[in-house]
Amino acid sequence: MKILIVGTGAREHALARSLSQDPAVTELHAAPGNPGIGEVATLHEVDQLDGSAVAALATGLGVDLVVVGPEAPLVAGVADAVRAAGIAVFGPSAAAARLEGSKAFAKDVMAAAGVPTAEPRVVTEPAQIDAALDAFGAPYVVKDDGLAAGKGVVVTEDRAVAAAHAAECLAKPGGRVVVEDYLDGPEVSLFVLSDGTRVVPLVPAQDFKRAGDGDTGPNTGGMGAYSPLPWAPAGLVEEVVNHVAQPTVDEMARRGTPFVGVLYCGLALTSKGTRVVEFNARFGDPETQVVLARLATPPAAVLSAAATGSLDTLPALQWRPEAAVTVVVASEGYPAAPRTGDPITGLAEADALPGVHVLHAGTRAQDGAVLSAGGRVLSVVGVGDDLAAARSAAYAGVERIGLAGSHHRSDIAARV
């Protein structure tokens, strides 16, 4: 099978690494990829947001499957362009990707499907902000309606901060804001594969959104993750499939916009039961890094079955018993104003450690060196017999990495 991966981050590197180890994959390509992905796939300088260019590349390469990683190309309709060229795509259409592209749309779908979630207020004008904040009180939850690279959500006790974030989001062209009830309890991420009709769950993970230890500092795209979750209640996966994922996929099909790809279910295990925090229309980052590290089933046939409407033919997924922990190494100034262009050292040394592999997120190659090129620069993954061993391995890898001014959380998976 020939496969083309679209994207540039650690999520795509995790997919590329997993697919490169699958005997069924005869050729692996990436557009545009990154230096780490380039070690296992052939890179192509194609704009990932240009559906026509991606479709032309896929056609020229004669690939059997295109896997679209990030949300922006999906919302931009890249999957539609590739499908129109007659090539199987793992990733939803632009219409179906609105589950992530618009939080207001996602709330509407959840309401129609009877999916439990926080009560929302959609705000379209500055004059509506105060009434929406008053409706729920502190802590305030204010979400940019559109894509914001994981940084469009503010959860705060400070009303002025909440109001300012809402006003900033509304100031954008076509800006809308969703203000909603605060959901207490721990959060869980569960990926569910869909072929437009059926759903197949992966294993749960938990990520860490705040920049600093102890869940302090600003929201980020994610500073680390781990799996499995020994504290998760029995039956959680089945509950989410039956009451969240399958009803959502059914509702999308009823609307004539079948959802094909992976539905990311961000969940809160509240005092009143499991509630959906958000949907994403693609694999989450950094949770993908730990979930794929535990997947024993070769992934090519799994992704292909979802893309071709044949998940019902798929044998039960097999999972490694080991645990996985990933720690994100971020550049100086992330998330507010990340610095780029700094050389990265120690990559080979970290990769050589037992149970450790390093995934590139925001990097670029220059004159034989690897430089930082984004806010989240690397994901260092540790795999071990249990979470303690996996955590030790991940942080041993982080210690080998050199990046001036970089920062990372020291408490990923510490509580468990």
Q: Is it true that the peptide bond before 247 is cis, omega within 30 degrees of 0?
A: no
CA–CA gap between residue 246 and residue 403 (Å, rounded): 44
Phi, psi angle pair for 90, to nearest 5°: -95, 105
Domain 186-313 has CATH 3.30.470.20: yes
Query: Please, are residues 163 and 141 in contact by the beta-carbon 8 Å criterion?
Result: no
Single-letter residue type at 216: T
Query: Please, are residues 376 and 330 in contact by the beta-carbon 8 Å criterion?
Result: yes
Predicted confidence at residue 150, as pLDDT, reads 56
Predicted confidence at residue 143, as pLDDT, reads 85
Query: Please, are residues 366 and 299 in contact by the beta-carbon 8 Å criterion?
Result: no
Domain 2-94: CATH class, spelled out: alpha beta
Predicted confidence at residue 179, as pLDDT, reads 86
Sign of the dihedral through C-alpha 278, 284, 288, 290? negative
Three-state DSSP class for 158? Answer: coil
Predicted confidence at residue 103, as pLDDT, reads 85
Cross-strand bridge partners of residue 260: 195
Q: Is it true that the peptide bond before 32 is cis, omega within 30 degrees of 0?
A: yes
Residue holding tokens 């990683």?
A: 69
Phi, psi angle pair for 156, to nearest 5°: -155, 155
Query: Please, are residues 362 and 377 in contact by the beta-carbon 8 Å criterion?
Result: yes
Three-state DSSP class for 70? Answer: coil
Domain 323-403: CATH class, spelled out: alpha beta
Cross-strand bridge partners of residue 224: 327
Predicted confidence at residue 132, as pLDDT, reads 82
Q: Select from 271, 282, 276 the least CA-distant residue to 239.
A: 276
CA–CA gap between residue 52 and residue 32 (Å, rounded): 14
Residue holding tokens 């922006």?
A: 72
33 token code pair: 């990829």
Helix boundaries (H) for 155-245: 159-170, 236-240
Task: Name the pTM for this structure.
Answer: 0.91
The number of beta carbons lying within 10 Å of the beta carbon of residue 385 is 11
One digit per residue, the tens of pLDDT, for the chain of length 416 reads: 999 999 999 999 999 999 999 999 999 999 999 999 999 999 999 999 999 999 999 999 999 999 999 999 999 999 999 999 999 999 999 999 999 988 889 999 999 999 998 887 888 888 888 888 888 788 888 888 777 655 578 888 889 888 888 888 888 887 888 888 888 889 999 999 999 999 999 999 999 999 999 999 998 999 999 999 999 999 999 999 999 999 999 999 999 999 999 999 999 999 889 999 999 999 999 999 999 999 999 999 999 999 999 999 999 999 999 999 999 999 999 999 999 999 999 999 999 999 999 999 999 999 999 999 999 999 999 999 999 999 999 999 999 999 999 999 999 999 99
Q: What residues does each domain of the chain span?
A: 2-94, 125-175, 186-313, 323-403
400 token code pair: 């080998």
CA–CA gap between residue 290 and residue 228 (Å, rounded): 9
Phi, psi angle pair for 206, to nearest 5°: -130, 135
Largest CA distance in the chain: 58
Single-letter residue type at 82: V
The rounded Cα 165 to chain-centroid distance in angstroms is: 23
Single-letter residue type at 401: I
Q: Select from 31, 15, 330 the least CA-distant residue to 151.
A: 330
On average, the pLDDT of the chain sits at 94
Q: Select from 291, 300, 88, 90 the least CA-distant residue to 193.
A: 90
Query: Please, are residues 294 and 16 in contact by the beta-carbon 8 Å criterion?
Result: no
Query: Is 186-313 the same fold as 2-94?
Result: no
Predicted confidence at residue 149, as pLDDT, reads 59
